[in-house]
Amino acid sequence: MEKALDWLGRHHEDIVRGLADLVAIPSISTDGEHRTEIDRTAALTVDQMRAAGLNNAEVLRVGGSLPYAYGEWLDAPGKPTVFLYAHHDVQPINFVEQWKSDPWKLTRRDGRLYARGAADDKGAISAFLGAIAAYRQTVGSLPVNIKMVVEGEEEVGSKNLMKFFDTHRDRIKSDVIVVCDTENIEVGLPCITYSLRGVMTAQVDVTSAKIPVHSGMGGGALPDAALALNAVLGKLYWADGKLPIPGYYDSVRPMTDKETAATRKLPFDEAALRRDIGIVPTAKMAMEAGLNEYEQTWRRPAVTVIAQEASSIKGASNQVLPKATALVSCRLVPDQDPQQAFEQLAAFLTADAPWGVEVKVTPHGPPVTWWMTDPNGPAFEAALGAMRAGFGRDPVAIGCGGSIGFVGPLSELFGGAPALLMGIEDPASNAHAPNESLHEGDFKKLMASLVRLFDGLGKLTPERVK
């Protein structure tokens, strides 16, 4: 292991150049216009897998899916098999004017590596391959077996991922799952995530008429669909209490006293958050009274209006609009059932419609169920020990307000395999936003932690990792 750690230090610039090559390709999956670029990143990832020392590296697809990169190393008989997951597709470049450097050129600045995909999630590809190469280029072998999948459509909901897992279930079968697509809550503090919120999205359509009417003729007399939609959405306003949806919290699992006490020991700088996001001085935080930011975002339901349409500003006309639509994203927590949550939301939003307009609520895409595990057992102990040594600081087990839909089903597919979600981002990473970046010091520490994790897991048998 020491030779592998030494190799990481001596070859860090090579690893960074590999990451630079990955982020230089605009593999945007959300607009359907970058399939060529996504093909190129999959091919490059396969090339980098081979260079790192993985075998049988190839591009795989299922049906009409975007490409997956797959590689393996299976020459450690009797040792656990570790499944590594990352994704090579990225979000588009929004608010271009706010980027301080070329989003497709990895740029060092103030101890960080800036580029679209640097943190989410091409940095994870480089971290995994760096740890693998550290062993393969020194001692020639790994202490565990490796199967690595890098997906090409995570940013569009991983719509083919479960089909991919089912199609290749025998090929990918593993004992432990490792994912680096979550956050450390502050720079230098290693975090392992043991809970994820689920997500369910509803489309809300309001109809008041078949055609628009000149506002000089109908304004004040006809029901305004756009205004009615906002009145409907306004019913969700929760001030500093619970969401006012009847029955919505009946199945929400309370945090234990131990969990609550743990979250309240964690560092959180509200002033820094407000400054970094640019929250206007008059705006208040929206947490339920008595809860902190972690309790609220990890273990409480949330609703967010993520899109709204009635007419465009550019095409605005003096009309009473007949139709308006919104998407409401709902974050779900243990033990909420997505279907029940949808039905409760729909009943609440359709009741007592303004002016009696028609309000229709329908599912917008499939839901993702919440996930939670017990962060104990041999695999978690190996991960926590590796992170403690790699970061030089005691790691903490945390929740995550986001969703990674495949973790629970994949763990079940592998017969209850432990899922280790090791943080790569931090609050300043700005994933999905302008000036996305990866903290270079934490990047180094994560790779050192992965080297140590492989060593720790290699001291266990496949039967003893759970």
What pLDDT score was predicted for residue 324? 98
pLDDT one-digit tens code per residue, 221-250: 999 999 999 999 999 999 999 999 999 999
What pLDDT score was predicted for residue 71? 98
Q: Show Cβ contacts of residue 152 under 8 Å, excluding neighbours closer than 6 positions.
A: 27, 29, 38, 41, 42, 65, 66, 67, 68, 69, 87, 88, 89
What average pLDDT does range 79-101 have in this prediction? Answer: 96
90 DSSP 8-state letter: B
pLDDT one-digit tens code per residue, 251-270: 999 999 999 999 999 999 99
pLDDT one-digit tens code per residue, 308-367: 999 999 999 999 999 999 999 999 999 999 999 999 999 999 999 999 999 999 999 889
Q: Show Cβ contacts of residue 17 under 8 Å, excluding neighbours closer than 6 positions.
A: none
What pLDDT score was predicted for residue 466? 86
Confidence of residue 290 (pLDDT cuts 50, 70, 90): very high
Q: What is the distance between the alpha carbons of residues 211 and 218, in angstroms, rounded to a whole number?
A: 12
Start-to-end Cα distance in the chain: 23
- Whether the full predicted model's pTM is greater than 0.85, yes or no, is yes
pLDDT one-digit tens code per residue, 142-174: 999 999 999 999 999 899 999 999 999 999 999
- Chain mean position to CA 351: 34
pLDDT one-digit tens code per residue, 387-414: 999 999 999 999 999 999 999 999 999 9
- Around Cβ 104, how many Cβ atoms within 10 Å? 15
Q: Which candidate, 201, 266, 297, places its Cα nearest to that of 396?
A: 266
The CA distances from residue 371 to 328, 400, 449, in Å, are 21, 10, 24
Residues of the chain with CATH 3.30.70.360: 203-363
Decide if pLDDT at 219 tops 90.
yes
Q: Show Cβ contacts of residue 272 under 8 Å, excluding neighbours closer than 6 positions.
A: 427
What average pLDDT does range 107-128 have in this prediction? Answer: 98
Q: pLDDT over 90 for what percent of the chain? A: 96
pLDDT one-digit tens code per residue, 93-109: 989 999 999 999 999 99
Q: Show Cβ contacts of residue 21 under 8 Å, excluding neighbours closer than 6 positions.
A: 44, 48
Mean pLDDT, the chain, rounded, equals 96
Residue 126's SS3 state is: helix
Structure tokens at 225: 């669909």
The CA distances from residue 235 to 118, 286, 303, 329, in Å, are 39, 15, 12, 15
Architecture category of domain 2-196+370-464 in CATH? 3-Layer(aba) Sandwich (3.40)
Q: Which candidate, 143, 11, 14, 165, places its Cα nearest to that of 85?
A: 165
Residues of the chain with CATH 3.40.630.10: 2-196+370-464
Q: Which candidate, 9, 399, 434, places its Cα nearest to that of 198?
A: 399
Question: Residue 91 in contact with residue 177, Cβ under 8 Å?
Answer: no
pLDDT one-digit tens code per residue, 7-20: 999 999 999 999 99
What pLDDT score was predicted for residue 276? 83
Give the torsion sign (CA, 86, 90, 91, 97).
positive
For 203-363, the fitting CATH number among 3.40.50.12780, 3.10.20.30, 3.40.30.10, 3.30.70.360 is 3.30.70.360
Q: What is the distance between the alpha carbons of residues 221 and 230, in angstroms, rounded to a whole number?
A: 18
The CA distances from residue 450 to 50, 205, 282, in Å, are 19, 48, 44
pLDDT one-digit tens code per residue, 406-460: 999 999 999 999 999 999 999 999 999 999 999 999 999 999 999 999 999 999 9
Per the document, the length of the chain is 466
